[in-house]
């Protein structure tokens, strides 16, 4: 069983996970808008999915 509410590992906001969530599914955190990957089930573990950084005139 997955629990419906998880905590975002990045911003600690609550993230709603579908009861039917599968391994490697991607969910979006409403607080920080990061994409989070379901890396384990029972219990559910979320991990930050990496993204390309912005670089303007650095």
What does the longest C-alpha to C-alpha distance in the chain come to? 48
Q: Is 45 within 8 Å of 38 (Cβ atoms)?
A: yes
Give the one entry of another protein, Zn ion, none that residue 8 binds, where binding means its C-beta sits below a cut-off of 5 to 8 angstroms depending on kind.
Zn ion
Interface stretch with another protein, choices 9-17, 19-27, 37-45 (CB under 8 A): 9-17
Q: Is 31 within 8 Å of 13 (Cβ atoms)?
A: yes
The only residue of 3, 4, 7, 13 in contact with Zn ion, by rule CB under 5 A? 13
Cα distance between residue 26 and residue 4, in whole Å: 15
Interface stretch with another protein, choices 7-15, 19-27, 39-47 (CB under 8 A): 7-15
Does the protein bind another protein through residue 39 (CB under 8 A)?
no
């Amino acid at each position: 069983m997955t629990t419906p509410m998880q905590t975002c590992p990045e911003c600690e906001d609550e993230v709603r996970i579908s009861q039917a969530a599968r391994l490697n599914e991607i969910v979006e955190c409403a607080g920080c808008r990061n994409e989070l990957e379901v890396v384990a089930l029972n219990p559910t573990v979320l991990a930050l999915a990496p993204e390309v950084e912005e670089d303007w005139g650095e």
